């Protein structure tokens, strides 16, 4: 994770900012169990119900996803859903909203979902990286200029978490919380 952050910052010419992202690093793990159709099937006339998770972006900096050998994760590229075929012992890395905000939009958060289509249960582990509460996420000055106006106001993770928890997750909560709107002249 540290290496990945270093590589990204080096690429953006921001190596001098690495400690802002590494020192206050804060990690959350989540385990998810998606039931295969053999368990939750309500198969009346082939009307099978599948488990899953609807489309969203993560509010983290980075998300690492590891799974048992059952696929189901999909990412959206230009409106098209693409299956992520994870080989055993590998994991997916997704960029989240916080990295997008900190890079003032240079990185994009990945819109993704989970769609189950088989009989076997899927188990996944998500490892989300944030900044410790109390540390503000603010794009470095080098990434803000006339051509690249500030896209997100500085914010802090606890404020964001409580806002997200109080909202309907189907709307763009992250942008609602800290997005900057510029009036078109």
Q: Where on the chain is the footprint of ligand AKG (CB under 6 A)?
A: 30, 32, 53, 58, 65, 67, 73, 112, 114, 124, 126
Instruction: Classify the C-alpha dihedral 124-73-55-105 as positive or negative.
Output: positive
* Residue 129 near which of ligand AKG, Fe ion, none (CB within 5-8 Å, type-dependent): none
Smallest distance, ligand AKG to C-beta of residue 124, A: 3
Residues 29 to 68 in contact with Fe ion, rule: CB under 5 A: 58
Smallest distance, ligand AKG to C-beta of residue 36, A: 14
What is the DSSP annotation of 105-164? TSS-PPPEEEE--SSS-EEEEEEEEEE-TT-EE---GGG-SSSS---B--EEHHHHHHHH
* Residue 76 near which of ligand AKG, Fe ion, none (CB within 5-8 Å, type-dependent): none
Question: Tokens standing for 12?
Answer: 């953006």
Residue numbers of the site for Fe ion (CB under 5 A)?
Answer: 58
């Amino acid at each position: 994770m540290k290496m990945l952050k270093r590589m990204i910052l080096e690429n953006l010419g921001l190596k001098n900012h690495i400690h802002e992202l590494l020192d206050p690093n804060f990690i959350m793990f989540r385990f998810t169990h998606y039931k295969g159709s053999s368990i939750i099937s309500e198969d009346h006339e082939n009307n099978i119900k599948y488990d899953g998770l609807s489309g969203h972006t993560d509010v983290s900096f980075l998300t690492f996803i590891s799974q048992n050998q059952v696929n189901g994760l999909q990412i959206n590229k230009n409106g098209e859903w693409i299956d992520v075929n994870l080989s055993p012992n590998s994991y997916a890395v997704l960029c989240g909203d916080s990295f997008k905000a900190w890079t003032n939009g240079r990185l994009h958060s990945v819109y993704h979902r989970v769609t189950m289509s088989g009989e076997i249960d899927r188990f996944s582990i998500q490892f989300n990286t944030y900044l410790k509460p109390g540390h503000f996420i603010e794009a470095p000055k080098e990434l803000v200029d006339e051509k690249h106006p500030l896209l997100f106001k500085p914010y802090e993770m606890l404020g964001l978490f409580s806002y997200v928890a109080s909202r309907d997750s189907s709307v763009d909560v992250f942008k609602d919380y800290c997005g900057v709107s510029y009036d078109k002249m």
